[in-house]
Structure formats: structure tokens, C-alpha cells
């Protein structure tokens, strides 16, 4: 990402905590190549892609806000645009034993040794284990997320010795064609129709699809790699990120 000046970089890429500036975990992880994102921008164009990305982020923020209130026993107002995803989260809660703690939701972390900061969605007891729960509203669960949660884990492990694992909970929503099984997903104001690997009765033409009501999806995935391996990869990404932004980081006194 291009930054026009050091102030923009400071405000966008990090947090000031107790008078000290720390880069954010999510900004560091962004240094990793993302081929799927490049294909997306190639398909829709840069300007349109930025609009879709901004609207998608706003929708994701709405889902996060609703989930966080539900976790602490509150009843949020839910926009119709995200209702299926939130309903999927409620179903997830009915199928799992989950205990959340208000003080551990949107938990700000800082790693004084490796000098980074971030915000953890929630630390929870889920089905008898205490771990990091990170909420995503993406199309899939990407391995990049394991770098993010490993950074959080290492910053929290001393304060919470019973911290044992990391989960990604993906909340999404889509409709399914009742004829061929294609799926239709609206995100960021963009319609995306995907064909199934084995369509029923052959693929429909676009005008022939018969869409179901939009259904929510709750997909839980536990990190499969050892946390130490993912954390080593995060530190490698951090070093590359520091190299990429060395000039600005020196201006800030970070390097």
C-alpha cells in the first residue's frame, strides 16, 4: 500500500499504546502475496474494486458488531442485509458450548518483545477449551489467518496459561440455484455466481437460475499447524514488512 506521508502511515498501520507506537498485526500480514485478491482487482478494475472492498468491510463490521453483542447476552438490531449470517451464528451457538467474557471481546494486545499490536475478536471457552476465536466474513478460510492468530497467541500466552488453540469462524451467506446447484453471493454490492463442480441436470443459463432464499453459513476451523510454526512465519512476514517500510519506520523512531 502507498502512504502519502508519515502521519498517514502512523495512523493507518498501527496503534499508540502507553505513548509507544506499534504496528498492527493485520497490516504486517498484508505483506504476503494474495493471488486471489489480484484476480479480483483484475476482474473488476481498481476503482470499482476499492468500492466493493470498502462496502464489504462495512458489512463485515456490522456482522462483527452483532456477534459481539450476542456473545455478551445482548440483543442487537440486525440489518436485513446481514441477517442470514447472524442467524447462522445463532445456530452455531445452539450446536456448541461457548462461554464468552465481556472483558475478552475486542481485546487489544501488544507484544512488548516483538513490538506489534492488534485486536483479538474474542477469547472464549468453546466445547471445553480456551482459545482465540477470530470472526471472518470472507468467501473462504485462508491460511493467512493462521499467521494473524499465531501473533495474537504469542502475545497472550503468558497472561493466559490455559490458552490452548485458535479458531476461525467464518460467517457468510448465499443463495443456491434449485436447478443446477450454482451459488449466488452478494458482497460489497457485487453479485458473484459460482458453478458447482458437479452441477445437477447441467448448468443453467444466467436467466434460468431459480434461487433459494439466502441462507447463512457458519464454518468453524481450528488452526492445524503448530502455533510456533505459524508464529515463525509471522515474524518472517514482519521482517519483510519492516524492510518494505523502512524509511517510514525510521521516521517514526520504530527502527
Burial class, 67, CB count within 10 angstroms (exposed 0-12 / middle 13-18 / buried 19+): buried
Please report the pLDDT score of residue 50 as a whole number.
87
Rounded to whole angstroms, how far apart are CA atoms 49 and 235?
A: 30
User: Do residues 170 and 133 lie in contact, with contact meaning Cβ atoms separated by under 8 Å?
Assistant: no
The CATH number assigned to the domain with range 21-172+217-251 reads 3.90.320
The residue ranges of the chain whose pLDDT is under 70 are 1
Tell me what the pLDDT averaged over the chain comes to.
Answer: 94
C-beta separation of 37 from 44 below 8 A = no
* CA–CA separation, 254 and 246 (whole Å): 9
Interatomic CA distance for residues 108 and 243, integer angstroms: 25
Neighbours of 198 (CB within 10 A): 7
Predicted pLDDT of residue 42 = 86
Q: What is the pTM of this model?
A: 0.93
Structure confidence at residue 164 (pLDDT): 97
pLDDT attached to residue 111? 97
Spatial contact of 245 and 255, defined as CB atoms under 8 Å apart: no
Q: What whole-number distance in Å separates Cα of residue 141 and Cα of residue 134?
A: 11
The pLDDT score that the predictor gives to residue 198 is 84
Tell me the chain's radius of gyration from C-alpha atoms.
Answer: 20
pLDDT score at 33: 85
3-class SS at 142? coil
pLDDT at site 35: 79
**All 3 cell numbers of residue 86?**
447472524
The domain locations on the chain are: 21-172+217-251
Residues 43, 62, 34: CA angle, nearest 5 degrees: 35
Amino acid at each position: 500500500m502507498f502512504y502519502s506521508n508519515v502521519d498517514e502511515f502512523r495512523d493507518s498501520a498501527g496503534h499508540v499504546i502507553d505513548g509507544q507506537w506499534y504496528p498492527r498485526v493485520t497490516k504486517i500480514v498484508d505483506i504476503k502475496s494474495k493471488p486471489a485478491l489480484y484476480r479480483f482487482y483484475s476482474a473488476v478494475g481498481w476503482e470499482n474494486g476499492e468500492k466493493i472492498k470498502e462496502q464489504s468491510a462495512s458489512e463485515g463490521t456490522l456482522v462483527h458488531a452483532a456477534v459481539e453483542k450476542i456473545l455478551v447476552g445482548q440483543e442487537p438490531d440486525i440489518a436485513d442485509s446481514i441477517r442470514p449470517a447472524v442467524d447462522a451464528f445463532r445456530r452455531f451457538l445452539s450446536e456448541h458450548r461457548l462461554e464468552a467474557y465481556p472483558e475478552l471481546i475486542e481485546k487489544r494486545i501488544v507484544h512488548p518483545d516483538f513490538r506489534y499490536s492488534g485486536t483479538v475478536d474474542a477469547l472464549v471457552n468453546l466445547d471445553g477449551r480456551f482459545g482465540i476465536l477470530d470472526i471472518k466474513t470472507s468467501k473462504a478460510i485462508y491460511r493467512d489467518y493462521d499467521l494473524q492468530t499465531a501473533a495474537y497467541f504469542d502475545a497472550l500466552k503468558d497472561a493466559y496459561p490455559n490458552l490452548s488453540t485458535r479458531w476461525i469462524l467464518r460467517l457468510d451467506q448465499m443463495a443456491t440455484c434449485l436447478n443446477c446447484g450454482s451459488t449466488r453471493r452478494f458482497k460489497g454490492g457485487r453479485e458473484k455466481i459460482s458453478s458447482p463442480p458437479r452441477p445437477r441436470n447441467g448448468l443453467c443459463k444466467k436467466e434460468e437460475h431459480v434461487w433459494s432464499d439466502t441462507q447463512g453459513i457458519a464454518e468453524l476451523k481450528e488452526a492445524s499447524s503448530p502455533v510456533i510454526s505459524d508464529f515463525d512465519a509471522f515474524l518472517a512476514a514482519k521482517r519483510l514488512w519492516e524492510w518494505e517500510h523502512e524509511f517510514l519506520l525510521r521516521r517514526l523512531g520504530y527502527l
